[in-house]
Amino acid sequence: MKHILSGKRVLLCVGGGIAAYKTAEIIRRLRACDADVQVAMTPAAREFITPLTLQTLSRNRVATDMFGGDASAIDHIAIAESADVVLVAPATADLIARMAHGLANDIVTATLLVTRAPVVVAPAMNSNMLAHPATVANLERLAGFGHRLVTSDSGELACGYEGPGRLPDPEALLAELAAALSPKDLAGVRVLVSAGPTREPLDPVRYLTNRSSGRMGYAVAAAAWRRGAEVTLVSGPTALATPRGVTRVDVNSAIEMREALQSRTAASALVVMVAAVADYRPCSAASTKIKKQAGEGLTLALEQNPDIVAGLSKIAGERVLVGFAAETDDVLRHARDKLLRKGLDLVVANDVTRPGAGFETETNAAVLVDAGGEQETGMLTKDELADRILDRAVALRTLRTRDRQS
């Protein structure tokens, strides 16, 4: 999501709750994404963390007072108009109530009335306060204003309660900011993504697999969620965390992945097959560990796995189907062949022998191949490439809809 936040002016409005201490890490993470961070604090927030701390981390003067000595340098009008996106964190019950009723009695609430930037609200408070009808009504009112509400995490609270009310981790809040800044061209669309490797068992302790880390598929799932989609991610074994807002279905073998995808394809308008599915599996898996025999080799009998992508293209529907082609030679020829042979709308092809573009990397370089031609992306982060892929998939979906209506 760094490519979305980079160069953006993020206004962080800090409310007066114990979770205010977490804003230091939020600022650090935003700065790591090359965002420009401006902080505004309520008077109560200054009781939990000092303006000097947040000023040092943000490298910008912190707005604390409507009428203080800094008012001539940074006022609520200038702050509001310069923001690309606003994060209210922690949003306390008091601050939420004042926002909901249009009060402007401190620098934060006055600024929030002026800004026309998207506003992300992250409530953090005692569980009972969060569940109180007044707070619930105030949050509903903020949602009606178009603000993006972040669901609080559950767990142990500073007050000793156990339950909802925790401020989400910085990674989740940055994902919400990136979503607020992203186009919503997939709003309400069901997107199905496959990711990661598959594992084909040889015996109870060994399996055949490949080097896929799952990063590319997870990046596509995260990007689709940011753009408003309802995303299901069917994942082979990986060490990656589930992207925010995404429903994850874990599988191991190619057969399991086929079943999980086939049962969900008919309801999906966009299917992106990123998973590196094993082409072959052992004809049979040993029930006990295969022992090494001195001086003897081992011959494995393999059989083909079903072609999942080709099978999905035969399921009735008007969906856009995207496939990947990880190649080591003659990339374009193989990609064009795959596009036609498997009934795909778009193939994302890459040379996995190219440095920085293969498995287990943070970057990738691809050629997007469809019936209209090819487009080279150049070397990008996988997050950037995910959005490029979705840009093309959305364009193809729009063309299909237009053709159907004409």
Residues that are catalytic = 159
Instruction: Give bridge partners of residue 120 from the DSSP assignment.
Output: 87, 148
C-alpha dist (Å) from residue 113 to 65, 119, 148, 243, 302: 16, 11, 15, 32, 66
Non-local CB neighbours of 21 within 8 Å, separated by 6+ positions: 48, 49
> What's the rounded Cα separation, in Å, for the pair 65 and 43?
8
> What's the rounded Cα separation, in Å, for the pair 67 and 44?
16
Helices (H), 196-278: 215-226, 254-265
Three-class secondary structure of residue 373 per DSSP: strand
> What's the rounded Cα separation, in Å, for the pair 107 and 46?
13
Q: Is the dihedral of CA 220, 226, 229, 231 positive or negative?
A: positive
Instruction: Give bridge partners of residue 376 from the DSSP assignment.
Output: 367
Owner of token pair 């001195």:
294
Give φ, ψ of 231 to 5 degrees.
Answer: -110, 130
Q: Is the dihedral of CA 178, 179, 184, 189 positive or negative?
A: positive
Let me know: does 317 contact 265? Beta carbons within 8 Å: yes
